[in-house]
Amino acid sequence: MSVIIQGGTVVTAHRSYRADVLCNGGKIVAIGESLEVPKGADIVDAGGQYVVPGGIDPHTHMQLPFMGTVASEDFYSGTAAGLAGGTTMIIDFVIPNPQQNILEAYKQWREWAEKSVADYSFHVAITWWDDSVASDMEKLVREHGVNSFKHFMAYKGAIMADDEILVNSFTKAIELGAIVTCHAENGELVFRLQKKIFEQGITGPEGHPLSRPPEVEGEAANRAIRIAEVLGVPIYLVHNSCKQSLEAITRARNEGQRVYGEVLAGHLLIDDSVYRNKDFEVAAAHVMSPPFRAKEHQEALWRGLQSGNLQTTATDHCCFCADQKAAGADDFRMIPNGTAGIENRLETIWHHGVSTGRLTMNEFVAVTSTNTAQIFNIYPRKGSISIGADADIVVWDPEAHKTISAKTHMQNIDYNIFEGMTVKGCASHTISQGNIVWANGELNVVRGAGNYVNRPPFANYYDAIKKRTEQSAPVAVNR
């Protein structure tokens, strides 16, 4: 079945223009003014609206086993909620347990993701190291379309990657043509601060941000960046929440290093006062790592997006309901870390970014879709409105109003960190794989319709780096 989007303004990361868009067989097959309507085609009237590439969320955790429980959002409900908000693809995370075979973990996550209703891909975390990990990294790149490996610099005693793991994994990544990503927090400092603060009698959620100050993020970000610099591997820093990590990224980029930064919609809009709410459920609902910061950091992060030093927006969508968060009622260290957001990312960034003049419409497309596709090597298949691209498209109504609430959202969680926020600008239609899956408030999805997206390695860039490194290697001198 064909779908034709008529009368809208196509907005890409590079330009805006009036055109119809015709989709057939899951692909965009024609773009132009007054296109002929194929017989039997579904027609979407986009008059007065914008036609943009489907959003790509580069950071989600569906169905994640974590801190003694499992995230309430699975791949079916999570990708469905994403489609309702205009996100047509996610890049989730395979997180092996320490000593678990990483290929085995990858296969388990692939099995869980088979219920997805939208397209998906995976970063794979490196949580330990031996020769088998190096071998499996190669298999993941060569045989399974993985081109990014994640490193948690936090969570001591569980999945934390120390400097030895970082160096080994980064070295293997450059050999394979993969990019490395990092959760930058100094795990040793966090562990010690958590213990100190708890022993001082601070046991509630307010202890969470006190144990993870901006400095522990800034230190880890700078350390990861400098290790990557020495080894010559591009690096992507996830969920930057503070000025300190942004400054480390900006400094490295100004020096010509390949460093990319991600920011969460929540970190742009929510401050640390939420942890001082006297209602435990409300405060605990916002416990995530890194935590929400003082307001000064939010303005800095917006400037990072505007300047291009932060390139992508994400959610770190990892849902735990009130009864799960209650595990930390007497000890903030036991509160499962995670919040939701996949349904609301595009509308909150549009309202607080485009509508305020912080971002142009084209920049909005870049930071919600195109940049992610380019960084992770799936452009122009994803992140573009172009002939031959996947027909993942959002028709965006700039006049639509909505008040965000847990009572009406489609996310499988009993609270919303944006509760009560009224936004102007929402998806009126979402098209995934050439099918209309969201239209005027109604969701029409098929369990298992999502496709796994292979992401090829960055062969040309890495070959050039290897050649340059070999040419600049010191020459031994016989004495």
Domain extent listing, the chain: 53-385+453-459
Count of beta carbons in the 10 Å neighbourhood of residue 295: 12
Query: How many whole angstroms separate alpha carbon 74 and alpha carbon 78?
Result: 6
Is the four-CA dihedral 338, 344, 345, 350 of positive or negative sign? negative
Whole-structure pTM value: 0.96
Closest CA to 368 of 13, 10, 50: 13
User: Above 70 in pLDDT, residue 465?
Assistant: no
φ, ψ for residue 304, nearest 5 deg: -60, -40
pLDDT of amino acid 1: 80
State how far Cα 124 lies from the chain centre: 14
Query: How many whole angstroms separate alpha carbon 340 and alpha carbon 163?
Result: 31
Q: Which residue has the tokens 């122009």?
A: 380
Query: How many whole angstroms separate alpha carbon 174 and alpha carbon 148?
Result: 11
Tokens of 332: 């903030």
Closest CA to 248 of 167, 173, 182: 182
Residues 159-218 have pLDDT tens digits of 999 999 999 999 999 999 999 999 999 999 999 999 999 999 999 999 999 999 999 999
According to DSSP, residue 337 is labeled: P
Q: What is the CA radius of gyration of the chain?
A: 22
Q: Which residue has the tokens 């119809």?
A: 20
Tell me what the mean pLDDT of segment 295-313 comes to.
98
pLDDT of amino acid 476: 46
User: Above 90 in pLDDT, residue 473?
Assistant: no
Is the four-CA dihedral 200, 206, 209, 213 of positive or negative sign? negative
Residues 397-423 have pLDDT tens digits of 999 999 999 999 999 999 999 999 999
- Angstrom distances, CA of residue 19 to CA of 13, 25, 34, 160, 416: 16, 20, 7, 49, 36
> Which residues share a beta bridge with 51?
10, 395
Domain 53-385+453-459 matching CATH 3.40.30.10: the answer reads: no
Tell me what the mean pLDDT of segment 291-308 comes to.
98
Tell me what the mean pLDDT of segment 103-120 comes to.
98
Tell me what the mean pLDDT of segment 316-335 comes to.
98
- Average pLDDT over the chain reads 96
Helices (H), 29-113: 75-84, 102-112
